């Protein structure tokens, strides 16, 4: 899957969890959502994007979730 599509989907997740008042819980829930509903190829592509491009184009909470819970 193209990284642009993954970024768009991940940003939709980030937008949903933006409403969480507890940022740490939001990051855990973002990581949990990705692990439950995304396949390993999708996750690995997104993690690689964060590592290689500092998460360019991704919602900040998604980047933080990946760095703290998945990388």
- DSSP letter (8 states) at residue 19: T
Domain boundaries, the chain: 3-43+52-69
1 confidence band (pLDDT: 50, 70, 90): confident
- Tell me how far the alpha carbon of residue 39 is from its chain's centroid: 13
Q: How many CB atoms are located within 10 Å of the residue 23 CB?
A: 14
Could you tell me the pTM of the whole model? 0.92
* DSSP code string of 21-65: S-HHHHHHHHHHHHHHHS-HHHHHHHHHHHHHHTTTTS-HHHHHH
Model pLDDT for residues 11-48, shown as the tens digit of each residue? 999 999 999 999 999 999 999 999 999 999 999 999 99
């Amino acid at each position: 899957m193209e990284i642009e599509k993954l970024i768009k989907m991940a940003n939709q997740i980030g937008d949903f969890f933006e409403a969480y008042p507890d940022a740490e819980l939001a990051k855990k829930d973002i990581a949990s959502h990705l692990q439950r509903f995304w396949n390993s190829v999708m996750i690995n592509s997104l993690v690689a994007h964060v590592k290689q491009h500092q998460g360019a184009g991704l919602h900040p909470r998604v980047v933080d979730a990946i760095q703290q819970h998945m990388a």
